Each structure stands twice: as C-alpha cells, then as structure tokens.
Amino acid sequence: MSLRTRELVNLVVLGIVTTIGFVSVYLASQEVPEFSTTSLSYAAFFLALFVVAHLIVRIRLPLADPHLLPIAGILTAIGLTMIYRIEPDTAFKQGVWVVIGVGLFAGACLLLRDYRSLDALKYTCGIGAIVLLVLPAVPGLGLEVNGARLWVSVGPLQFQPGEFAKVLLVIFLAGYLRDNRELLSMGYGRIGVPSPKHFGPLLLIWGGAMLVLVQTNDLGGGLLLFSIFLAMLYVATGRWPYVAVGLALFAAGSWALYEAVPRVGDRIAIWLDPWAEPDAAGYQLVQSIYSIAAGGIFGTGLGRGVLVRQDGETYIPYLETDFIYSAIAQELGLAGAAAVILLYLVFCYRGFRIAMSADDGFSKLLAAGLTATLAIQTFIIVGGVSGLIPLTGITLPFVSYGGSSIVANFLLLALLLMVSHRVNEGVEGRR
Amino acid sequence: MNTQIRNLFLVFAFLFVALVGMSSYWLWRAPDLEARQGNPNLLVRQLLIERGLIYAANGETVLARNREQEVDGQTWFRRRYPERGLAAHVHGYSTIQRSRTGLEESLNDYLTGSNADLATLLDRAGDTLRGLTRQGNDVVTTIDANAQRVALDALGGRCGSVVALEPASGRVLVMASSPTFDPNLVENRFRQATRSNAPCDPAAPLFNRATAGFPSPAFIPGSTFKVLTAAAALDSGEFSATSEFDDPGYCIEYGERVYNYSDQAGPRAFGRVDLGDAVENSINSVFCNIGKELGPRVILDYAKEFGFYEDPPLETPGDERAPSGLWSNGRLFDPEDPNQIDPGRLAFGQERLLVTPLQMAMVVATIANGGVLMRPHVVDRIVAPDGDVVTRTRPDDLRRVVSADTAATLTPMMVRVVSSGTGTSAQIPGVEVAGKTGTAETGRQGQNDTGFIAFAPAGSPRVAIAVYLQNQSGTGGATAAPIAKAVMEAILRSNP
C-alpha cells in the first residue's frame, strides 16, 4: 500500500468518526431526537475538505508521512464537534477558519517549491517574528482581550500574530542553530560558555521575545516560545547544561515576575490552592477540574454534559478556546481525553521520526522544532486546565476555537509534510 | 542530533503520561469534588430527574410538584410547593443549593426512582440511552390536608405544634409546626424563608417542633404527663381506680412543700380524693405522692415502653426527630441512680422532662388503642409512574405498653377532665372526648408551656391528638384545648 493510499484509508476512518460525532451532537441538541441529513452534510463537507488536502499532498508531496494529515483532521473534527455542541454559531465560524487553514495549507504546498529556501530567510523570519509579537502593543492596532494584548485588529479581521510568530521563530532558530551549533556545543569542559559573539544574538532574540510577551501580558505564549527555544537548543547542541541554565534562567525570570507582575503571582497562587477562592480567582480552574472529574471513564456522552448555563453562558469562561480539553474530558470521559492526548503523542512520534531521518541539520532542526512546538503547546494548556502546572491561556492545537491558531497550525503541518516528503525522496533516491 | 531528538520525545511522552495521570487523579477525587458547593455537575444531574409528586392523604392535594424549564437542550425540573407552609415540615424541601429535608430527603431514592431492582435498572439504562427523563415515584402521605390547615390556622402564628394520629393504625393525620415557612423560598431567598416574627426565641421556622429538638425537644409536658404516670400507677398494680389520697394542697419532698397549681386565690386543697378526682382536677400533690411511692425508675421504664428515650419512629430523617425524656444540659439524661431525680416533680411532668408532640400523641393514642402502641407513619403509599404501588404502609403494632384494663380504667378519668375538669374547652357536641391538660411553669411570668392531649370519641377513638404551645400566659385548658377541639372536629367530620 502506498503512503498516500494509507493516508486515504486513515481519512476514511476519520470520516466515520467525524460523522458519528456530528450526528450524535445533532441528535443530543434536539428535544425529540430525529435524524436529519443536515448533520450528515456538515460531515461530508468537512471530509471533502480533507480529501482536497489529501489530493494536494498526493500531487506535491506524495512521499510525505501518511499519518500527520489524518491526525490533524481528526483533532480538527473533535474540536469542531465540541464547539458545535457548545455554541453552533461559533462552530460555523471555526468551520470557515478551517477552510482558510486548508486553503493556506494547499497554497503553501503548491507555492513553496523547496522549504530549504527559508534557510536563507532566517533573519527575516526572526525579525518577522518579533514584529508580529510587537504588533498588538502598537496603539490603534492592538486589542486587549482578557487582560492580555495579543490581538491585532485590521478592519473587520482580528488575529493573534503570536500564533504565526511561533512558526517563524522555529524557522529562524532552525537556521541559526544549524549555523552555530558547533560553536555553541564547544567550550571549556562540560558546562561550556560560548563566546558572546555567537550566543549573543540568540539571547537577544529570546530576550526581545520575552520582553514583548511580558509587555503584552501573554504568559502562555511566553512560556511556549521560551520552551521551544530550550528544546531546539538542546537538540542542536546536545548539552543538558543549556537546558539546566535555561530552566534556572526561567525560574529566576518567573520569580522576578512573581514579585513584579501581580498577574503571575495570582496564577501561581491559584495553581497551589484552587479552592482558596473558588468563586473568584480560582473559579475557572475549579470549574475545569469539576468538569474533568464529572466525566468519569467514558464521559457523559456528547451533548449530555453540564457545560452551558441557563443564560446560555458556559460554566467555564473560554470553554471553546482555552478550556476545550475540560469539555472533552467531561463528555467523552477519561477515555476520550486520553485518546486525544494519544493522538498528539502519535503526531509527536511521527514528527520526531521525520526529524531523525532527515539528513541535513536545517531539516532536522525544523522538523524537531515544529513538532516540539505542537507538543509543548499541548502540554502547557492541558496541564494548565487540569491543574498540573499553573494555568496560562493558550490554544489546544487544531482543537480550540481560534482562527489564527487553526491557520498557523495548518502551516506548521504543511512545513512538516514538506520535510517529510524530501526526507523520503532522499531515501528513495539512495535506494 | 538524533539522540537528542529521541530524548526529547521521551520527555514529551513522559509529560503526556503525566497529563493523563492528572486527569485520572481528578476522576479518583470525583466523589469528594461532586459534593462541593458550586459544582454544577451533580446539581444539574439532579435537575434532570423528574422527582415524584407528594400528595396529601386524599391523593389530590399536591404538596410538592415540578416546574419544567428548557436549558441547553435539556429539560430541568425545579421543585415547587403549591401549598407552601401547609405541611412544609413533613415533606421538607429539595433544593439545588441547600440540599434536602423532610420526606424529600428521607424518601429521595423513591422520589428520584433510585430504589431500583435489576429490572428497573435495565429499563433505566435503556431510557438513558434514548435520552428519556428519569421519572421518580409519587408519594401519598397520610396528612389530612383540611385538618392540617385547621391546625395551622388555630395555632395562628404562635410557637407550637399539633400532631394527630389515628390510634388504631398509627397514621399521622396532622403534623403542624408553627411558625411554618415557605419551602419555595429556600432555594433563592433563604433569609426570607427563615425570617419570622413569631413570639419565641429562636422562632426557627424551619425547625419541626412536632418531632425535632435543638438538640432537646421544645416542650415541657407538665400535667399532660400525668396520663403516663397514672397509666404506670394502675398498670403496675400499685394503685387502682379506687385508691384514695389526702390532699392538703401540697406534698412534702426533701422536707419542703411542693404546692398544687395556684391561681389568683392561691393553691387549692382538695382534701380526700380518689385517682379519678386527681386526674380530673390535675392535683399535683397526689401525683407527687404517687411518684414517691412508685419511684422514678418505674415511671421512666413505662415512659420507655411508650417510646421515650428513642427517636419517635417516623419516615422523616433521623436528624429531624429527637427523643423525649429527661434532658440535662442539652443531653438526654437517663440516671442510673434514682436519687438524682425528683420523683414527685417527675410524676407531674416537671423535673427536667422535655417531650415532642409526636411522642405525647403516641402516649395518648396508646391509651385510646387499648394499651397497644402503633408505629406512627406519615407515608401511606409510594406509587410508581406506571401506577403500580411500590410500597404501602400496613399498621404495625410496636408493643403492648399497658393492659387493656389499665386503658379502660384511665379513659373515664380523662373523659371527666373534659366534661367537668380542667379541659372543658375541648368539648365537642355529641362526641365524648377524653383528654388531659398541662400547664408547665418555665419560671418566667407569662411564659408557660401549655399542652393538651386527647382522643375522641372516647368509646371508639378515631383520633388521638397532642397540642403544645410555648410562651403562653394562660393554662393548657384555655390555650391548647380549643386547638385540639377544632382539629379533632375537622378530622371526625372528614372521616365519619
């Protein structure tokens, strides 16, 4: 079976699961359950979208990994289903964003002949990332939502530049670390201190990014970018001390923030004792935990959980964005939630396999960085809403409601598939 | 770089396992979390259950029903009590924020349909799959809605309680506690529900004075307890209807005089009397001497036979029922050493005796029933949604407390109380009423606990009643007996 046929088989499985999900939510939303073709047509449209993506991949990247696209598809389907169950109008908007995301995915596959040309643009990408991160702080452009300035409003369109910045940052770091990894790995003894000449620009970029994020008050994004940086630094140099120093730096930074920014202190206090103020500061986390606990092993079933109040608001604010995992855990149970996490783990596994079989440093670092981005983001938000780590607002890749997030993650997927195709092409060529 | 990538994957794999572990941990904590205030999950699950209705004895007057509401594609059922305070202490309330009381609490499993055998469980699993609402069983109580209303009106906002039983079956026909409350307000306007300007402190409208204590029962039995003492005196064989006594107006205990009840003219002395005269005129000195002769142990043992020192049996929650008996410093007190109790004062219902109206209704119902105590019950039957009767309460005789002779000897004495003694205001035209008044001094002027226990018709009793009031300036005969009369009339009229 060719790679693409395998992908198609995976997509058929996706189709069945999606249809069941859509239909059950549709049935649950009705007082007298009655079957209708509306839910089926939604599922069919969604599936057609991914078949288009599949065809593009078949034409342009026939040797790419056959698992990543179906996994992204099923995560998107789970997200859409949950969002539809919470608020059908929002699901419709998300659907539009998925169409745009798949469109950009196709565009990237068709237009970007060789992703390695991005290597030459690494500094442009680095600067681009910073510009994107600064944008929300620009007066007139920025928009403050929930205490954080991370939105940009251009006309009727609003987007979160941070989501795209993370992809640009990975490209920059892949190029930069490939060039400087020997130097960075050298040094005196095991705890090497490389010359500021090589390490400086890197620290500068990181410091700038952190500063901007602290200024925009987006802690989740800051944590994500910093963790990506550490992960890629480790992959490039193989030096745990970097990670150790980085973590120490981060701890020191957090402590400073804890002292300086009340918001960070609050988050940590809530994390340590969510029940100190269950109706005020701790409300979101406490409700999220109730929701996870209420699901049991197999969940209440789609549409049968306790998510929406009498007045139409959700019990957990930002349920369809940051807290979508809590909704999944309640209605699909621990089994469903664990399955979602397993999907991310498989995605991670495939992504790192691509990185390991790549034969040039840039490709390796790019694939590893993109994969790590997705993994870290998943850990930060799922860990946050379940109380494992302090809660910081960030989207669950492919699942959460959010246009920028969906589009950026489809671009991430496109890049990963491009690397995968080239890697396998190389393997075939040598055979 | 491949080693690093592999290591990184292992790190992520570990972190993801930790994520699943964290969610599992909350699952394990779920029972504890569900009980917390502010957790909507358990509460909403309760709202999805269509609780059974609660009816008065006629099967028509609805005491508790549901109001439907559509939320998030589901039907929510909120509890409503159309009769408001009428029998609020019997059925209690079922709320989302403030749990449950009364039959709503003790019969929750029936009302929610959780009283399942395997067949119903399987049925219900099917219903859940089809998304059908779970439906509870209806409860039909023994409460006579009309007489209950009469009792509440007669209490008229005073602090007190009325309990009426059917002597032969133990059916609770009336169980009123005043001040009452509107259970509809408990959910959202709790402060308003608990507010009352009734003349007692604490007024505590949510507290069921008929059966409960806080922790001790609310009432001093006073002379109504003489029924029990007289029954013990006769049944023990120490005294008979013809036993004679000399009443100088007082009895001597521990070298001091204990006087008869005194009005403006001072304590009255009756001279040479028999037991019937003593009951009719409620002569303290006679009962004081009977108490000294019998000893406190005998009286307390008979009291226990009547149900004292145990929660009175009923279907309401255990924490809403308190045992009658001697109470000392907020604790039930059953002395090993009889010298710790004053036998004379015990015999006429003072000492440290505290009683629930239900307990005293059980005492008088036992005399009415020829000496056999029936288990009181307020639930007649529980009916499944399909109309099948799930359970029906059958009359259950707990035990014979006194001989039929004792009851037969005591009854005419109690008839004399109403015909020509202290309880004449309980007379019902054409019906022979047997009763006993009680006026217990609390030591504060105008703050007597008054009571009246009775049954009627004396020849073939259909109702036994206990009425108790707090903070009264009059006697039991003047304050409690008229209430008993009104309620008994209502019951006799509606159950001819």
A340-360: average pLDDT: 95
> Same domain for B194 and B84?
no
> Same domain for B149 and B219?
yes
Q: Which domain, by its residues, includes B83?
A: 42-129
Residue A350 to chain B, least CA–CA distance (Å): 10
Q: What is the pLDDT of residue B290?
A: 93
Q: Is A236 on the interface with B (CB under 8 A)?
A: yes
On average, the pLDDT of chain A sits at: 84
Q: What is the pLDDT of residue B193?
A: 85
Alpha carbon distance A278, A259 (integer Å): 23
Residues of chain A found within 8 Å of residue B132, distances taken between Cβ atoms: none
B17 located within any domain: no
What is the enclosing helix (H) or strand (E) of B165? strand B160-165
Q: How many CB atoms lie within 10 A of CB B191?
A: 7
- List residues of B with catalytic annotation: 223
For B278-334, the pLDDT digits (tens) are 999 888 889 999 999 999 999 999 999 999 999 999 999 999 999 999 998 888 988
Residues of chain B found within 8 Å of residue A294, distances taken between Cβ atoms: 30, 34, 39, 41-42
Q: Is B404 on the interface with A (CB under 8 A)?
A: no
B298 located within any domain: yes
Tell me if the bond preceding B457 is cis, omega within 30° of 0.
yes
Helix, strand, or coil (residue A316)? coil
Tokens 């209690």 belong to B92
* Cβ separation A355–B34 shorter than 8 A: no
Q: Is B242 on the interface with A (CB under 8 A)?
A: no
Q: B372 pLDDT exceeds 80?
A: yes
Q: Which of B89, B350, B325 is nearest to B215 (CA)?
A: B325
**Read out DSSP for A340-392?**
HHHHHHHHHHHHHHHHHH--SHHHHHHHHHHHHHHHHHHHHHHHHHTTSS---
Helix, strand, or coil (residue B90)? helix
Q: How many domains does chain A have?
A: 1
> Same domain for B469 and B397?
yes
B14 located within any domain: no
End-to-end CA distance of chain A: 18
What residues pair up with B261 in beta bridges, in sequence order? Answer: none
* Single-letter residue type at B354: L
Total residue count of chain A as it appears in this document: 431
Q: What is the pLDDT of residue B305?
A: 95
Confidence of residue B408 (pLDDT cuts 50, 70, 90): very high
Residue A349 tokens read as 């596994």
Could you tell me the CATH number of the domain that includes residue B53?
3.90.1310.10
B 129-168 near A (Cβ less than 8 A): 130-131
Domain end call among B79, B96, B129: B129
B114 located within any domain: yes
Confidence of residue A188 (pLDDT cuts 50, 70, 90): very low
> Same domain for B328 and B226?
yes
Q: Which of B106, B102, B358 is nearest to B211 (CA)?
A: B358
A317-323: average pLDDT: 90
> Same domain for B215 and B124?
no
The conformational region for residue B282 under phi > 0 = left, psi -120 to 50 = alpha, else beta, is left
Residues of chain B found within 8 Å of residue A341, distances taken between Cβ atoms: 16, 19-20
Q: Is B45 on the interface with A (CB under 8 A)?
A: yes
Q: B68 pLDDT exceeds 80?
A: yes
Alpha carbon distance B285, B436 (integer Å): 17
> Same domain for B270 and B343?
yes
User: In terms of CA atoms, which chain A residue is nearest residue B46?
Assistant: A306
Quickly list H helices, B92-181. 102-106, 108-111, 118-129, 145-155
Q: A189 pLDDT exceeds 70?
A: no
Q: How many domains does chain B have?
A: 2
Q: In sequence order, what are the residues at sequence separation of 6 or more whose Cβ sits closer than 8 angstroms to the Cβ of residue A59?
A: none
> Same domain for B113 and B245?
no
B25 located within any domain: no
For A231-262, the pLDDT digits (tens) are 998 999 887 777 777 777 776 776 776 676 66
> Same domain for B437 and B335?
yes
Q: How many CB atoms lie within 10 A of CB A277?
A: 14
Partner residue opposite B19 with nearest CB, options A287, A296, A388: A388
Q: What is the pLDDT of residue B261?
A: 77
**Read out DSSP for A71-94?**
HHHHHHHHHHHHHHHH-HHHHHHH
Q: Which residue has the higher pLDDT, A163 or B165?
A: B165
Residue B128 tokens read as 């859940």
Domain end call among B78, B94, B129: B129
Residue A275 tokens read as 């029940």
User: In terms of CA atoms, which chain B residue is nearest residue A32?
Assistant: B131
Contact criterion met (CB below 8 Å) for B283 and B291: no
Alpha carbon distance B368, A230 (integer Å): 89
> Same domain for B260 and B121?
no
With a threshold of 0.80, does the pTM exceed it? no
Residue B87 tokens read as 């029998």
Total residue count of chain B as it appears in this document: 496
User: In terms of CA atoms, which chain A residue is nearest residue B35?
Assistant: A290
Partner residue opposite A296 with nearest CB, options B13, B27, B42: B27
Domain end call among B129, B153, B171: B129
Partner residue opposite A292 with nearest CB, options B15, B23, B76: B23
Q: Which domain, by its residues, includes A247?
A: 3-430
* Cβ separation B18–A383 shorter than 8 A: yes
The answer to which of A60-64, A284-288, A300-304, B48-52 has the lowest mean pLDDT is: A300-304
What residues pair up with B431 in beta bridges, in sequence order? Answer: B428
Alpha carbon distance A231, A219 (integer Å): 18
Alpha carbon distance B237, B312 (integer Å): 28
Could you tell me the CATH number of the domain that includes residue B380?
3.40.710.10
Alpha carbon distance A294, A163 (integer Å): 32
Contact criterion met (CB below 8 Å) for A195 and A183: yes
Partner residue opposite B9 with nearest CB, options A279, A337, A349: A349
Alpha carbon distance B397, B365 (integer Å): 12
ipTM over 0.90: yes
> Same domain for B197 and B62?
no
> Same domain for B118 and B176?
no
The answer to which of A11-15, B196-200, B268-272, B445-449 has the lowest mean pLDDT is: B445-449
User: What CA dihedral angle connects A168, A171, A384 and B72, to 10 degrees?
Assistant: 50
What is the 3 state secondary structure string of B312-334?
CCCCCCHHHCCCCEEEECCEECC
Q: Is A241 on the interface with B (CB under 8 A)?
A: no
* Cβ separation A386–B23 shorter than 8 A: yes
B397 located within any domain: yes
Alpha carbon distance A64, A71 (integer Å): 14
Q: Which of A320, A143, A327, A158 is nearest to A218 (CA)?
A: A143
Sort A231 into a burial class: Cβ within 10 Å, 0-12 / 13-18 / 19+. Answer: buried
